[in-house]
Structure 1
């Protein structure tokens, strides 16, 4: 049985993230989505809020679980979970350059765990959580970029 780990801050989960998750379910027996806390970014949602929203987004996908990952290396979590692959979404050359360094570092920590780069669908290649947050903060329409329930949660955050 092959298990893959897809970790990220997902603040918020976008349709691009969801597309990667859906495609990963066709490649692996089990996909674990880990909601990581990115200490270099100021978050819009708390880890429990993100976890709940992602669980709602993937509820109809077979063999997908969502967990909170705070502290520790992602490669360590992969090993703990018995995941043989870590999935990383790539939108741009800049993403690739960044992710290659992380993948190489992860190899120094555990040679048995592979990193799989999945190219973003062209329809989502311009979308980032950061861009979604920024547009939404100015009351822009992000409804086509995120699942509907997440769009509503974003609106609520910025109405406060």
Structure 2
């Protein structure tokens, strides 16, 4: 029997508790979950791809399941095909996410109908968390401990201290 491989793509800048929830739950659905750390031209990353990979690897190390962390800079469906994936795992927080993700799933199906997209609803307590908002809160001196792991919080605060904090 062929192993079922799933891909969970994202920028993970920074990795949030919401991401960790989807990784933990997604890993239960497949034999191997490949967390694909990518660049996104429409986003301004706080951390380099290498830093984000190291963070995700560290944070998923204690989770159950076969979880690999790799980088990619290509079409998601090309990446999924290269990894041998039959499933794309995506997290949904709100209706706005659904509309975007639904459109993306439709386009991806047009590109490769052999790979299914599976949506996981975010845990209710984690639904409002978004990396962009976590960065914004931190930049303005707000506390982000409720949204990220302690190690990620330290990394974000150290990066902001280095680049200069606004507000306050």
1:84 matches 2:73: no
Determine the structure 1 residue equivalent to 2:72.
Answer: 69
- Please list the CA deviations of residues 118-137 of structure 1 after superposition, one character each: whole Å capped at 9, or x if unmatched: 10000100000000000000
Q: In the TM superposition, what is the alpha-carbon distance from 1:25 to its structure 2 partner?
A: 1.5
**Following TM superposition, where does structure 1 have runs of at least 4 consecutive aligned residues deviating by more than 3 angstroms?**
none
Question: Gaps spanning 5+ residues in structure 2: where?
Answer: 163-168
Determine the structure 2 residue equivalent to 1:111.
Answer: 113
Describe how 1:90-109 pairs up with structure 2 within 5 A.
Answer: 90-109=92-111
Provide TM-score, normalisation by structure 1. 0.97
Determine the structure 2 residue equivalent to 1:148.
Answer: 150
Question: Gaps spanning 5+ residues in structure 1: where?
Answer: none
Supply the distance in 2 between the matched residues of 1:51 and 1:80 (Cα, whole angstroms): 19
**What is the aligned-residue RMSD (CA, Å)?**
0.7
Asked which structure has the greater CA Rg, the reply is 2
- Please list the CA deviations of residues 41-72 of structure 1 after superposition, one character each: whole Å capped at 9, or x if unmatched: 111111000000000000122300101112x1
Supply the distance in 1 between the matched residues of 2:146 and 2:101 (Cα, whole angstroms): 27
Number of matched pairs? 159
Supply the distance in 2 between the matched residues of 1:26 and 1:41 (Cα, whole angstroms): 30
SS in 1 for 2:145: coil
